[in-house]
């Protein structure tokens, strides 16, 4: 069983003891653990799905929204996708030991800057069990140990998945405690994890603003927030109307319960009369509840658009609801995005390359899309194999948190007896 019976401190200490072995493990050993993990995921798909069905049936999951239940639910295809993601991570170059810089100093010292693991990474996350596998794969390949703390309503799924990786680690001759799962404890456990100075080198909370606020109150270890995604699609005055329709609908509807789904649609006043009725009709037909400002409601045609409140502009719905506003030009659109967005993913639809560059340079976000859906902000789509989350911070990583974002560096100086005068 992967969920430990030990305290948070004991689990973090066990992970810390495992760091030396995983930090110095060969690429072959780490890849062997990952390949075995992928194989076991496929071989034990039925066991995984049974555990997940138990989570979905549990009373703890009864009050979840449809979007959160979708994030919790595993299917045969999703298990297969997890295994494929692990294999992609295994196929990537090992980042540990990568030489970033090299030079000879005036003293004659040969100075190199090399990539090294962080140590113990702790991840707190909510509904999605696939995060267990993504996090484990990335930390193993990047030479780190990980302490996983998922939600209580995914406890069976997370425990089963973590146990598979631990078995694979042991088979590859690596310590099982490279991957540890805490189960889904309460706020006291969360606070304890966030204060394990000397044991936890980086804490990554992956969830909404409530989780972010709770961590901020207590954390004494370094934190990198994989936070909420209040994402926008801006339809510029020079947009192709059909492209705008495709992108807006995909960004909202393709999977509405994830952080890179669009929550607000901004339409330039210059073409709102021509574009808004069709785009809003497509969204409404897809089941999206629409709310908007007075100008958006006025150009909606026969589509029902309710009045938007001030709260709507700052909301991450994670479901089939979207706010719509009409804006007077690109500068107003940029101001709206920077005021209300969370710095995650933002998109502009335009045929004007100058306008695109103004948007790209003016919007403060981890990922900017020109004529593409926000749904592409994803470690797998970016060629990272997987991700631990999407950082909306600027230090030390931004955007999808992949293997290289789980490393730091050290300087190594080699000499032949130099002393400083």
Going from N- to C-terminal start, the domains of the chain cover 8-226+388-414, 231-376
pLDDT tens, position by position, 36-73? 999 999 999 999 999 999 999 998 888 888 878 888 99
Q: Which CATH class is domain 231-376?
A: alpha beta
Residue 2: per-residue pLDDT: 43
Low-confidence ranges of the chain (pLDDT < 70): 1-5, 184-185
Q: Is 357 within 8 Å of 349 (Cβ atoms)?
A: no
Residue 70: per-residue pLDDT: 87
Cα(104)–Cα(330) distance, integer angstroms = 49
Residue 384: per-residue pLDDT: 87
Q: Is 371 within 8 Å of 238 (Cβ atoms)?
A: no
**Looking at the domain that runs over 8-226+388-414, which CATH code has it been given?**
3.40.605.10
Residue 361: per-residue pLDDT: 98
Q: pTM for the complete prediction?
A: 0.87
Residue 60: per-residue pLDDT: 86
């Amino acid at each position: 069983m992967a969920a430990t019976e030990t305290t948070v401190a004991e689990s973090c200490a066990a992970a810390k003891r495992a760091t030396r072995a995983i930090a110095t493990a060969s690429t072959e050993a780490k890849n062997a653990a990952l390949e075995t993990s992928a194989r076991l995921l496929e071989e034990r798909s039925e066991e995984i799905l049974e555990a997940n069905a138990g989570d979905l049936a549990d009373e703890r999951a009864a009050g979840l929204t449809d979007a959160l239940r979708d994030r919790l639910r595993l299917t045969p295809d999703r298990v297969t996708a997890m295994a494929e993601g692990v294999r992609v991570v295994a196929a990537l170059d090992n980042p540990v030991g990568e030489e970033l810089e090299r030079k000879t100093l005036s003293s004659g010292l040969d100075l190199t800057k090399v990539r090294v693991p962080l140590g113990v990474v702790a991840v707190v996350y909510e509904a999605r069990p696939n995060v267990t596998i993504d996090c484990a794969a990335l930390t193993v390949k990047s030479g780190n140990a990980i302490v996983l703390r998922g939600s209580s309503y995914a406890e069976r799924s997370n425990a089963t998945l973590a146990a598979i990786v631990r078995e694979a680690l042991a088979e590859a001759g690596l310590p099982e405690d490279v991957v540890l799962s805490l189960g889904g404890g309460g706020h006291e456990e969360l606070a304890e994890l966030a204060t394990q100075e000397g044991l936890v080198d980086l804490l990554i909370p992956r969830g909404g603003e409530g989780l972010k606020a709770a961590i901020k109150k207590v954390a004494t270890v370094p934190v990198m927030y994989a936070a909420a995604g209040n994402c926008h699609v801006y339809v510029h005055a020079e947009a192709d109307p059909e492209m705008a329709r495709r992108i807006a609908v995909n960004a909202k509807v393709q999977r509405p319960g994830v952080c890179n789904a669009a929550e607000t649609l901004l339409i330039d006043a210059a073409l709102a009369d021509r574009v808004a009725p069709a785009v809003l009709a497509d969204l409404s037909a897809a089941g999206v509840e629409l709310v908007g400002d007075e100008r958006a409601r006025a150009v909606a045609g026969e589509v029902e658009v309710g009045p938007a409140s001030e709260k709507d502009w700052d909301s991450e719905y994670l479901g089939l609801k979207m706010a719509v506003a009409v804006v007077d030009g690109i500068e107003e659109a940029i101001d709206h995005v920077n005021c209300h967005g969370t710095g995650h993913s933002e998109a502009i639809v335009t045929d004007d390359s100058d306008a695109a560059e103004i948007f790209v340079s003016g919007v403060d976000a981890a990922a900017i899309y020109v004529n593409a859906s926000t749904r592409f902000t994803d470690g797998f789509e970016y060629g990272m194999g997987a991700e631990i989350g999407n950082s909306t911070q600027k230090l030390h990583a931004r955007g999808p948190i992949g293997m290289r974002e789980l490393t730091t560096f050290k300087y190594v100086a080699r000499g032949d007896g130099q002393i400083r005068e």
